[in-house]
């Protein structure tokens, strides 16, 4: 009978250890999430200021596990011009690919010049004229 009691205690100990490990993992994840949220809260005012300076509205703002996603929409008084679609080359590349790349890099630089420890990725194809005319941006945090 004593062996049965020992087995119950062993099982309880194993279960307790398992849940303790899970709790430790959740505490670590919670701490990382809190740090990420603090980083987001620190950069949002800068993003808003830059968008305001460039006469852009921010739409479709979302936060995923590792990045901030948003769309920039030029206001009527903005001088931003979307690039006209120029078709494709015989090899399937866009004729305006260089323009799209250059404009995307310029927009990325708006943010990286003024906000430390971030990387910005502008979807270059969102810079072509379309019925939507939204500039899709992803912000990533550099590890520092």
Q: Are 140 and 67 in contact (CB under 8 A)?
A: yes
Which of the residues in the chain have pLDDT under 70?
A: 1, 92, 143-144
Residue 87: the pLDDT is 79
pLDDT (tens digit per residue) in 55-87? 999 999 999 878 999 999 999 999 999 999 887
pLDDT (tens digit per residue) in 93-102? 778 889 999 9
Residue 143: the pLDDT is 65
Q: Are 125 and 100 in contact (CB under 8 A)?
A: yes
The pLDDT mean for the chain works out to 89
Distance, CA of 80 to CA of 62 (rounded, Å): 23
Q: What are phi and psi of 123, to 5 degrees?
A: -70, 110
Closest listed residue to residue 115, CA positions, set 47, 18, 15: 47
On whether the pTM is more than 0.85, the answer is no
């Amino acid at each position: 009978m004593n062996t049965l009691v020992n087995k119950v205690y062993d099982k309880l100990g194993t279960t307790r250890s398992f849940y303790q490990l899970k709790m430790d993992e959740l505490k670590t994840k919670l701490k990382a999430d809190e740090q990420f949220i603090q980083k987001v809260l620190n950069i949002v005012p800068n993003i808003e200021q830059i968008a305001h300076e460039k006469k852009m509205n921010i739409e479709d703002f979302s936060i995923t596990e590792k990045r901030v996603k948003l769309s920039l929409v030029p206001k009527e008084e903005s001088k931003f011009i979307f690039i006209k679609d120029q078709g494709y080359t015989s090899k399937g590349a866009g004729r305006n690919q260089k323009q799209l790349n250059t404009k995307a890099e310029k927009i990325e630089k708006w943010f990286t010049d003024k906000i430390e420890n971030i990387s910005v990725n502008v979807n270059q194809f969102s810079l072509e004229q379309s019925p939507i005319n939204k500039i899709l941006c992803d912000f990533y945090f550099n590890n520092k």
